Amino acid sequence: MTDSSQVTYTQHSMPRLNEPAPDFDAVTTHGRRRLSDYRGKWLILFSHPADFTPVCTTEFMAFARAHDKFAALNTELLGLSIDSKYAHIAWVRSIKENFGVEVKFPIIEDLSMKVANAYGMIMPGADDTSAVRATFIIDPEGVLRAMVYYPMSNGRSIDEFLRLVTALQTSDANKVATPENWQPGEKVIVPPPQTTEAAAAREGEGYEYTDWYFSKKSLENA
């Protein structure tokens, strides 16, 4: 006999950092969008639990207000939820009418949950099909560089995603790392030496030296 109280669900694989982001071809509020459409640009793909909900509304307004700042970083925005494009359209119209904020970026209609499942936006065993607050940063080569998950009850910090994109771009351009809460203009971390000979020489290389494995430098003086 089968225990009818048992709940089964399909396990979907999670995307992996530093590997190609899952491809998609989806209907959005701006027409069809494919991952390849964003080649040569950074992309922030983010999901929200549902349209016409208060926390999601605050997040969308924050993303919308930061739209030009992301554009200055060669970064596009793309939203997603398990709602129809008509619900999305009605919601962004409501946001503009009630809050005076225009949402200029597209939102994916994902009623089939194909994109949400490919990106791990729906938690295994969840009691509904709402996507969590997941955010994915994809680089111009289509590689997934960062992903962040938030609970249903708490909104994201959009300023943190601006900071993170800037940090990733800085690391790529200068072959450096960035410390905790790094802000543009602050010193960056020099990659540690890879040999004992290089470690011995590090102190005399002109960096802000603390120990052989920990040195900083200013990019302005590089």
Residues 122-153 pLDDT 10s? 876 554 556 789 999 999 999 999 999 998 89
| 43, 56, 122, 158: the active-site residue | 56
Question: Pick from 8, 57, 16, 47: which is nearest to 131 by CA?
Answer: 47
How is residue 26 written in tokens? 């989806």
How is residue 221 written in tokens? 């003086």
pTM assigned to the model: 0.90
- Report how far apart, in Å, the C-alpha atoms of 16 and of each of 20, 23, 76, 197 are: 8, 13, 21, 35
Q: Is residue 146 classed as helix, strand or coil in its secondary structure?
A: strand
CATH of 25-155, one of 3.40.50.150, 3.40.30.10, 3.40.1160.10, 2.60.40.10: 3.40.30.10
Residues 27-36 pLDDT 10s? 999 999 999 9
What's the whole-number mean pLDDT along residues 176-205?
Answer: 97
Distance between CA atoms of residues 43 and 93, nearest Å: 24
Rg from Cα positions in the chain: 21
- Report how far apart, in Å, the C-alpha atoms of 2 and of each of 5, 6, 8, 124, 193 are: 9, 8, 12, 21, 60
How is residue 179 written in tokens? 């410390």
Tell me what pLDDT residue 9 has. 41
Distance between CA atoms of residues 133 and 214, nearest Å: 35
What's the whole-number mean pLDDT along residues 185-198?
Answer: 97
Question: Pick from 188, 217, 220: which is nearest to 205 by CA?
Answer: 217
Spans of all domains in the chain: 25-155, 188-221
Q: Is 56 among the residues known to form the active site?
A: yes
